[in-house]
């Protein structure tokens, strides 16, 4: 069970890194852009269903995607129950 909890914690770190890298405006061919693309590929299968259930919160002209926060909280709970 500890290995599953560790895998969940690593996945949580990947989601957090994606959140941080989404704020860095770089082109796709930049190393940060390529890393961000890989992180999107890895995290989108989990975030997309949550995003479908909870739409982004509108704040004027911008929208805040709550799906990473919700997934991080849920994974944190699961990891603490397993670990």
Is 39 within 8 Å of 17 (Cβ atoms)? Answer: yes
Q: What is the pLDDT of residues 8-41, one digit of tens each?
A: 999 999 999 999 999 999 888 899 999 999 999 9
Please tell me the predicted confidence (pLDDT) of residue 46.
96
CA end-to-end distance (rounded Å), the chain? 7
Tally of domains within the chain: 1
Domain that holds residue 63: 2-82
pLDDT of 83 over the 80 cut: no
pTM of the model: 0.88
Give the residues across from 58 on adjacent strands.
63
Q: What is the pLDDT of residues 31-77, one digit of tens each?
A: 999 999 999 999 999 999 999 999 999 988 988 999 999 999 999 99
Is 22 within 8 Å of 15 (Cβ atoms)? Answer: no
Contacts for 33-41: CB closer than 8 Å, 24+ residues apart: 39/14
Please tell me the predicted confidence (pLDDT) of residue 60.
87
DSSP-derived letter for residue 1 is: -
């Amino acid at each position: 069970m500890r290995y599953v909890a560790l895998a969940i914690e690593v996945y949580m770190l990947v989601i957090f890194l994606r959140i941080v890298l989404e704020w860095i405006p770089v082109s796709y061919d930049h190393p940060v852009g390529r890393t961000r693309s890989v992180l999107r590929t890895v995290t989108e299968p989990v975030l997309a269903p949550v995003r479908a259930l909870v739409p982004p919160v509108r704040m004027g002209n911008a929208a805040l995607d709550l799906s990473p926060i919700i997934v991080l909280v849920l994974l944190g709970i699961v990891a603490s129950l397993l670990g």
